[in-house]
Amino acid sequence: MPYPVAKLPYGFRRRLAELATPSERYQLQVAGNTKSICPPNLQTVSHKERLKVARNDDGTLSLLAEVEYVQQPFTMGKTDVITCYDTVILNAVKIEDLETRFALEPFHLKVINCDHSPEFFQKLASMTHASPKHMTISSLKEIPLCLATVFSVFPHIEFVTLKAELPTSWMADILAHQTAKLRTLTIRIDGEVIETVNLDELSDFIRRQRKEFLMIFRIGDDVIGLEMERKLEQHFTKTKESTDSTQLIIQDYPWSGYYSLK
């Protein structure tokens, strides 16, 4: 419901416009339900269905809008605002790059080779109003991803893909800090991760998600796949692909194995 910002004195509203960041001015206009809330100058608002923000080698940012699978570069003025409610992709972005000109509330947020410190995700959650339900995090860093922070500051995520170094406590961290039950969790797995997988914990983790939850391990080694299969026989039954039941899926392209809890 719109807040009666328009009833505030003109001078007060003008001062708000001077003090607010571009995205805050936009939110005030949304709250007041009129573009004239923050006088005297109007700001340009550009909506993108799919937005990519990439850091270049020289420290500048490239802005690209994806239209029919074609990425088109664009620029924006100092007081302009970009909105996006579908997909936002951040590539090699650092914490100082998180712009006050972004008014983002994406459904899907992709974080690729960015700073992945807790402070980065906290600021990113603030910039996106913690709106994402689908999150993809890819990183080549050897520092484990702080899942406690990710799930604390993004309470609505239900679809998660992790292609990053994970702490050995990844299941406990998610369970302790998630607010929404997961629909899918896809993680890249290697020999070191397999060694840390406690099948009792894994079974409990899967049972505490949604009824149709899919737990997907992506691997790239036949040896790893066979090792995992031997471990899974203790708690899981090999089955066929299903869309209406909880499943554990081992993907070793082009092969996939499907398992259900015993």
Alpha carbon distance 86, 71 (integer Å): 15
Alpha carbon distance 157, 136 (integer Å): 10
Which of 18-27, 29-38, 116-125, 231-240: highest mean pLDDT? 116-125
pLDDT of residue 201: 93
Residue 162 parent element (H or E): strand 159-163
pLDDT of residue 35: 67
Burial annotation 15-48 (CB, 10 A radius, 16+ → b, else e): ebbeeeebbbbbebbbebeeeebbeeeebebbeb
pLDDT of residue 262: 84
Q: How confident is the model at residue 55 (pLDDT cuts 50, 70, 90)?
A: very high
Which is more confidently placed, 146 or 66?
146
* pTM score: 0.84
In 3D, which of 108, 134, 137, 107 has the Cα closest to residue 121?
137
201: DSSP letter? H
**Mean pLDDT of all residues in 140-154:** 94
**Mean pLDDT of all residues in 218-235:** 73
Q: Spell out the domain ranges in the chain.
A: 1-43, 48-261
The per-residue pLDDT for range 159-207, each reduced to its tens digit, is: 999 999 999 899 999 999 999 999 999 998 875 666 678 889 999 999 9
